[in-house]
């Protein structure tokens, strides 16, 4: 099922990522526990999370422009050593027993700065690790890695924090970064998949403004990011809504919240397997998963008890991973390689805003309207957003064949001869690829959702017409584009981690 594992470099990348994600979640638990025990305040505990997220918003565009102009591996080796040093600093603070807050907040801020800088570079390097043919498979496997690392990290962290204290968790995370450094150094450069660089572009095309100007000229990508923002704010912050439902209408307390968290983690693993079964990650798949998740979210507010709510949460979590995987693939496959770092930074900013805005908003709605009404209201808004996105994407993709000849002429005028040959080879290979099966989840509800999505978005004649002339989505690509992940090609951009990588997975 996971064909990407046949590649030596990807096996190294995936193994290192599993180790480091496990360490990351150990540290997340350790920091939260340390701050809560030291201050007794949940608000002060949340301040540490905010300090890690802010640098991504402020520095992300600059880091994206930098990633498009430099070789990623040297930067990543340096950033992983810095991450390890910061985690070791946290361990020293915890072992010293000083209970001082400012070192923890300072290290959280510095970790956010490093994550903001190396996040886009990780995206470009991940595109080099696995080729475009293994893109969807690697994305799905990365989601599975992330889910596994979260479960193992939180479970192991819970044992260690009770027996050895938070310092042991920080020390373990520091060591986990060394696995990433080892993987970076052991890879075979001859097996990488080269990407176009902004260093070969005119000076006017290398900066931040050029990146955002390019993004504004990509309506399909903008619609995808807008849908991701709405779903991220109102349909993805289940750590808030599950807690509100468990503590409120379900009367299940902490034990119920723990059960729901476990069910959600299992659902993400199922979603990763579903995405891995897909041979192509299309907009139609994204919309089907989004509509299914939004519909279930609406009805989750009506569930009578904990068991029923858990049953609904499982497919919601699966749909969430499919959404993350499809968004990460479509946003980056539909953009130029020399803009990859800047596109990754924009996607990371969207993911950061989703968490920073969505979590407080859903918490406030749960307090004002009640947890059930908050879930149903948010689900309704998400469904409306899905419907609007479906209409817009149908119109945009239906218009592509008409504009394709001009796009092909423009690409011929701007690309080099070698790039044209590579792009033609990639298009020819894609044109001969078998059509994917039209399935997401084996349920009648999913098939009903598929029936609502316009066929013009994925019709075979339209796709073949675009492939014959090299439609606008790929007109500037020297070779088929790839995507970004937490440390490699397996992550979706759902929620940024402390290293600036999407939570949905990594390679």
Q: pLDDT confidence of 135, banded at 50, 70, 90?
A: low
What is the 3 state secondary structure string of 434-463? CCCCCCCCCCHHHHHHHHHCCHHHCCHHHH
Residue 372: pLDDT band (50, 70, 90) is very high
pLDDT tens string 275-310? 878 777 889 999 999 999 999 999 999 999 999 999
Tokens representing residue 490 in the block: 């397996």
pLDDT band of residue 236 (cuts 50, 70, 90) is confident
For the range 171-174, what are the long-range contacts, defined as Cβ-Cβ under 8 Å and sequence gap of 24 or more?
171/87, 171/88, 171/91, 172/23, 172/26, 173/23, 173/24, 173/26, 173/27, 173/30, 173/87, 174/23, 174/84, 174/85, 174/87, 174/88, 174/91
What's the chain's average pLDDT? 75
- Cβ atoms 76, 122 nearer than 8 A: yes
Angle, helix 371-414 to helix 460-469, in steps of 10 degrees: 40
Higher pLDDT, 173 or 338: 173
pLDDT at residue number 46: 64
Query: Is residue 360 pLDDT above 70, yes or no?
Result: yes
Residue pair 258/246 in contact (Cβ under 8 Å)? The answer is no
Distance CA 137, CA 420 (A): 27
- Residue 25's alpha-carbon distances to 150, 153, 174, in angstroms, are 6, 5, 12
DSSP letter at 7 equals S
Give the lowest-confidence range in 46-60, 249-263, 324-338, 383-397.
Answer: 46-60
140, pLDDT greater than 70: yes
Domain with CATH 1.20.1250.20 in the chain: 1-195+482-507, 203-398+434-471
Average pLDDT for 494-501: 39
Lowest mean pLDDT, pick from 31-35, 61-65, 92-96, 187-191: 61-65
- Homologous superfamily (CATH) of 203-398+434-471 is MFS general substrate transporter like domains (1.20.1250.20)
pLDDT reading at 444 higher than 50: no
Q: Is 126 within 8 Å of 485 (Cβ atoms)?
A: yes
Give helix 340-369 / helix 306-333 axis angle, nearest 10°: 160
Cβ atoms of 334 and 393 within 8 Å: the answer is: no
The mean pLDDT value for 349-357 works out to 83
**1-195+482-507, CATH topology level:** Growth Hormone; Chain: A; (1.20.1250)
For residue 503, the 8-state DSSP code is T
* Most confident option among 11-15, 192-196, 413-417: 11-15
Measured at the alpha carbon of residue 483, what is the angle toward residues 415 and 455, in degrees to the nearest 5?
85
pLDDT for 340 equals 72
**Which pLDDT value is given to residue 388?**
96
Confidence (pLDDT) at 506: 36
Q: How far apart are the first and last CA of the chain?
A: 15
Higher-scoring residue by pLDDT: 506, 234: 234
Q: What mean pLDDT comes out for the span 184-191?
A: 90
What is the number of other CB atoms lying within 10 angstroms of the CB of residue 273? 16
pLDDT at 43: 62
More confident residue, 348 or 135: 348
Q: State the pLDDT at residue 68.
A: 72
């Amino acid at each position: 099922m996971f064909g990407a594992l046949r590649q030596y470099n990807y096996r190294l990348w995936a193994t290192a990522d599993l180790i480091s994600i496990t360490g990351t979640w150990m540290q997340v638990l350790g920091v939260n526990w340390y701050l809560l025990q030291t201050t007794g305040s949940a608000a002060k505990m949340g301040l540490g999370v905010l300090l890690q997220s802010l640098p991504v918003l402020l520095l992300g565009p600059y880091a994206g422009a930098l990633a498009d102009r430099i070789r990623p591996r040297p930067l990543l080796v340096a950033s992983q050593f810095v991450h390890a040093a910061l985690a070791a600093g946290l361990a020293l603070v915890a072992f010293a027993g000083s209970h001082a807050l400012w070192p923890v907040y300072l290290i959280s801020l510095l970790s956010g700065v490093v994550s903001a800088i190396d996040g886009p570079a990780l995206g470009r390097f991940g595109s080099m690790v696995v080729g475009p043919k293994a893109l969807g498979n690697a994305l799905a496997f990365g989601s599975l890695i992330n889910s596994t690392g979260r479960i193992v990290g939180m479970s192991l962290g819970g044992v260690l924090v009770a027996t050895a204290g938070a310092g042991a968790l920080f020390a373990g995370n520091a060591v986990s970064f060394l696995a990433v450094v080892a993987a970076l150094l052991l890879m075979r450069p001859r097996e990488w998949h080269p990407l176009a660089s902004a260093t070969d572009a005119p000076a006017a095309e290398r900066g931040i403004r050029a990146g955002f100007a390019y993004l504004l000229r990509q309506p399909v990508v903008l619609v995808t990011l807008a849908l991701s923002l709405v779903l991220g704010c109102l349909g993805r912050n289940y750590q808030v809504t599950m807690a509100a439902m468990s503590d409120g209408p379900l009367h299940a307390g902490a034990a119920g919240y723990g059960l729901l968290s476990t069910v959600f983690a299992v659902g993400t693993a199922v979603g990763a397997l579903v995405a891995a079964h897909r041979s192509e990650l299309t907009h139609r798949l994204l919309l089907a998963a989004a509509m299914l998740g939004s519909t279930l979210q609406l009805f989750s507010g009506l569930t009578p008890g904990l068991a029923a709510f858990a049953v609904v949460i499982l497919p919601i979590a699966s749909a969430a991973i499919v959404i993350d995987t499809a968004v990460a693939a479509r946003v980056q496959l539909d953009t130029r390689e020399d803009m990859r770092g800047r596109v990754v930074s924009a996607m990371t900013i969207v993911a950061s805003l989703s968490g920073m805005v969505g979590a407080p908003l859903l918490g406030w709605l749960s307090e004002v309207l009640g947890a059930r009404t908050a879930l149903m209201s948010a689900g309704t808004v998400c469904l409306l957003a899905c419907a609007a996105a479906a209409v817009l994407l149908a119109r945009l993709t239906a218009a592509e064949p008409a504009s394709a000849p001009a796009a092909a002429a423009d690409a011929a005028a701007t690309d080099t001869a070698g790039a044209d040959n590579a792009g033609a080879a990639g298009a020819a290979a894609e044109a001969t690829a078998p059509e994917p099966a039209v399935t997401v989840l084996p349920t009648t509800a999913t098939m009903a959702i598929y029936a609502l999505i316009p066929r013009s978005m994925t019709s075979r004649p339209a796709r073949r017409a675009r492939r014959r002339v090299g439609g606008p989505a790929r007109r500037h690509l020297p070779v088929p584009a790839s995507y970004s992940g937490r440390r490699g090609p397996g992550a979706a951009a759902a929620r940024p981690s402390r290293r600036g990588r999407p939570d949905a997975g990594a390679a």
